Amino acid sequence: MTRPATLIAVAGTATEIGKTWVTARIVETLRGRGFSANARKPVQSFGAGELGATDAEVLAAASGESPQAVCPAHRWYPVPMAPPLAAVLAGEAPPRLADLLVELRWPSPAPDFGFVETVGGVRSPLADDGDCRDLVRALDPDGILLVAGADLGAINAVRLAADALAGPPLAVFCNRYLPGDEVHRRNLAWLTERDGLSVETTIEDLADRIAGWR
């Protein structure tokens, strides 16, 4: 099976934290620098009003692929719940982790960077027999991008997620970071100075970090 030269798993500290937006911007930025970059979403669930702007569609727009190349059409569940729950409510058998891995397809020749975006938080159910952490471990990525917030609770959320994902190189992105916000500044300082984590707050700096994983 084709594997990107650099495979990166994308996880989040919570749902609606901005994983898709960040992944799309990174794909665009790397492509703008002359690299080939693609994103995959093995499974997605969404509300009825989101059709046309689902995660797969947003990621596809960033890489110039079809949404069905990003996420197989039969893995789109129009129920805003964790995918295995959404599948049951949609009258379908919930996906199994092995199925999602087998269905993961990349362009040929292999891209320089491939991003696999998970769902919800790190321990959110992604398949009937596994959560996002299980998928990340099965992928054995070259690096992990952890998207987090910057507000109150960010330190705890990042620490818990980083512990669960321990192993490959980890880059944390504090989404919606405001340099003038004292809470944001102090959270960032704690995570970098006390915990020794690699934390970025701009897409350009994050792209530099990820490019260094090649």
Beta pairing, strands 130-131 & 125-127: antiparallel
Active-site residue list = 41
Question: What Å distances lie between residue 100 and 50, 85, 133, CA to CA?
Answer: 22, 16, 14
- Report the C-alpha gap between 10 and 12 in whole angstroms: 7
Angle between helix axes 203-211 and 19-32 (nearest 10 degrees) is 70
- Report the C-alpha gap between 3 and 17 in whole angstroms: 27
Whether the link from the prior residue into 72 is cis, omega within 30° of 0, is: no
- Report the C-alpha gap between 24 and 58 in whole angstroms: 7
Report the 10 Å Cβ neighbour count for 2.
Answer: 12
